[in-house]
Structure 1
Amino acid sequence: MRQTTVLVVDGSASDRQKLHQILDPRVQLEEAKSGMEALTFVVQHHVDLMLLASKLPDMDGFEVLRRLNLEPRFKELPIIITTHEHSQKAEAAVAMAGGFDIIRKPFVPIIVVKKVEQVLEMEYLHRNLKKEVHRQTKLAEDRLASSERLFEETVMALAKTIDAKDAYTRGHSQRVARYARHIAFKLGWLEEEQRKIYFMGLLHDIGKIGVPEAIINKTARLTDEEYSKIKQHTVIGSEILELVAEFPELAIGARSHHERYDGKGYPDGFAGARIPIYARVIAVADAYDAMTSKRSYRGVLPQNVVRGEIAKGRGTQFDPQFADVMLQIIDEDEEYILHER
């Protein structure tokens, strides 16, 4: 273990010798006879504590202290001023200059030892506290990263489970999540908001877990009763996701992604701004994927048809703002490759 190094800065040989007699062998003592010598030494060597005389041959000890305080790397170097001054004014001057403490001359051995030990103990605790804080912070960051990875993997697994129920919509949830995040990105939403809507997109159809596969995979026209059961996936999904207290938006996306801007959607018949903003984004992304994915009753629709449907639904099925962003994305996708990724 490295021994504690104390630098004695004093022009008086007798005072330096006295400190050696008092502090040896408790610490490793180094000496400097002037201010410049002290400034040079601390640049080249590690110092745990400086005992700095208030009067030096080349400059005032307070000038040395001032110069050290100008350097960020020396800001935490504890400095005790040694002085013949015995007034409260001297103590105030040391405190104002940033000195840690004051030791008066002529030296009283027990006082010197106690003050040096006190400073070194406090520095040891401070240094180790910083290390412990850093260690605990790193542990917390690692746990958070691990927790976030677990959450993402769990959500992804659920999304794949949902999509596996429908032979014709494999990857639907992931694509909707990706499109929704892309819309949010185009809108200039913060990264955290983009992340939220991505996960909401992944789980927007989780309620289909409660819908019979025979209905989900039916190729013929659905009866009114079957369609009613399909619509229940929004309510079932929101009830499942309401259990995730730390992420309440998940339930919103699941419940409201089939609401229409004109109020003719389900399950609540909300219109306009009453529909949660996340759900309005997911609704556009969901419709785009429905039209650009192969279905049991048709193939992938041509891009111009998809664009026309989005444009037609602007202000009725879709929030105009988000429909416009989706139209912009479609126009930028000249090769029609977005739906293939």
Structure 2
Amino acid sequence: MERNDLTRIHNTEEEDINTKKSHILVVDDDAMNLFIAKRILSAKFEVNTVSSGKEAFSYLEENETDLILLDICMPEMDGFTFMKLIKEKPVLKEIPIICLTADNEQESEVKCFELGAVDFITKPFIDEIMFQRTSRTLELSHLQKSLQNEVEYKTRKLEKRSRQLKRMTVQVMQTLAGTIDAKDKYTNGHSVRVADYSAMIATKMNMTQEEIDNIYYIGLLHDIGKIGIPDEIINKTSKLTDEEYAIIKTHPVIGSEILEKMSELPDIMVGARWHHERYDGKGYPDKLAGADIPLVARIIGVADAYDAMSSTRSYRGILPQEVIRNEIQKCAGSQFDPEIATIMIKIIDEDTDYRFREK
């Protein structure tokens, strides 16, 4: 944090202390000790007193309190028990506690600190010591709260900015995906649909939301390599020649080379490079097989194939869902990861209104 931020916080804290009295609760079963503590502290602070731990909890439930001065040796509920119980209450556990006792044993002092006390004042009270220790504790507590509020404020700003950047990133990816799909009039919306189907599969696999989001982004750009393929080949309505098909098959490598420099999303090139690999090792470009194919690419491969079959192409219309289902089932274990193929079939079976189909 910069020095001017600290100065501003400190100045604000001093203004708060000067304009608003801090609230102190003194808990002691001895009426004289309560009287003395109130006399010492009332000039600067708002002081309230109670004579037992039970009364203290009743008071704290109804009143805002900045500091507790707590006697250790009390009947029924001693100070140690009180501190254990207060730490179980989320609303109260952050209130600082100074322990009060006539016991000079180091063991008691150590136990107080172990239970969360911030300071220790011995009896009989010495005015200046009690006043200074109380004042110092409150100043530190208020400064800590101010710093915490500042951190929370900065964190909220960063989170907001992060959300804005994320939205912008998604919009850029969607624009790129649209640019890719625009090269082929038959694949309009293909990249977004593949991203959607991939996210559905990932959801069925109980992945985390972050993993699902990443798979969606990777799906958006899985075909970015088609930017490097001539339009006349992509839009050719007749059968491709062997040379033309070889050119088409270069788009995964082109895509991975485009995306590998995106250090913020190091896995984004995975979907581009390996979504045409086959589970049996007969795919391209690297002839990977089984688990050697990254999971993300195996998911996108199934989603890509589903969308290809359920969309209009230059050489055919939309295939019926039952035909697509049977094809995915037939290719499980050869073209597709069998587990992912099974999940895709389940998604198809649940899609009774065929909302996935291109209209």
Q: TM-score range by the shorter chain?
A: 0.7 to 0.9
Structure 2 counterpart of 1:196: 214
1:322 maps to which of 324, 340, 351? 340
Deviation at 1:163, TM superposition (A): 0.5
Q: How does 1:72-91 map to 2 (within 5 A)?
A: 72-91=90-109
Matched, 1:300 2:300: no
Q: How does 1:58-137 map to 2 (within 5 A)?
A: 68-69=86-87, 71-92=89-110, 94-95=112-113, 98-137=116-155
- What CA distance in whole angstroms lies between the structure 1 residues aligned with 2:53 and 2:282? 83
1:284 maps to which of 302, 311, 320? 302
Matched, 1:2 2:17: no
Partner deviation per Cα, 1:75-120 (whole Å, 9 max, x = no partner): 2333333344444355345445654333233332321222112211
Q: Would the alpha carbon gap of residues 293 and 59 (structure 1) be closer, same or farther in structure 2, given more than 3 Å must change?
A: closer
% identical aligned pairs: 48
Q: Would the alpha carbon gap of residues 219 and 134 (structure 1) be closer, same or farther in structure 2, given more than 3 Å must change?
A: same
Q: Secondary structure at the match of 2:187?
A: coil
Residue 194 of structure 1 aligns with an amino acid whose one-letter code is I
- What CA distance in whole angstroms lies between the structure 1 residues aligned with 2:110 and 2:203? 57
- What CA distance in whole angstroms lies between the structure 2 residues aligned with 1:60 and 1:318? 68
- What CA distance in whole angstroms lies between the structure 1 residues aligned with 2:82 and 2:326? 77
Q: Would the alpha carbon gap of residues 77 and 161 (structure 1) be closer, same or farther in structure 2, given more than 3 Å must change?
A: same
Structure 1 counterpart of 2:198: 180
Structure 1 counterpart of 2:8: none
- What CA distance in whole angstroms lies between the structure 2 residues aligned with 1:80 and 1:220? 86
Matched, 1:31 2:77: no
2:328 maps to which of 305, 310, 329? 310
- What CA distance in whole angstroms lies between the structure 2 residues aligned with 1:233 and 1:248? 19
Deviation at 1:158, TM superposition (A): 0.9
Deviation at 1:323, TM superposition (A): 3.0
2:175 maps to which of 157, 162, 165? 157
Residue 272 of structure 1 aligns with an amino acid whose one-letter code is G
Structure 2 counterpart of 1:237: 255
Structure 1 counterpart of 2:4: none
Q: How does 1:212-231 map to 2 (within 5 A)?
A: 212-231=230-249
Structure 2 counterpart of 1:48: 66
Q: Would the alpha carbon gap of residues 237 and 48 (structure 1) be closer, same or farther in structure 2, given more than 3 Å must change?
A: same
Structure with greater Cα Rg = 1
- What CA distance in whole angstroms lies between the structure 2 residues aligned with 1:107 and 1:151? 63
Matched, 1:209 2:247: no
Could you state the TM-score of these two structures normalised by the residue count of structure 2? 0.81
Matched, 1:257 2:275: yes
Q: Secondary structure at the match of 2:272?
A: helix
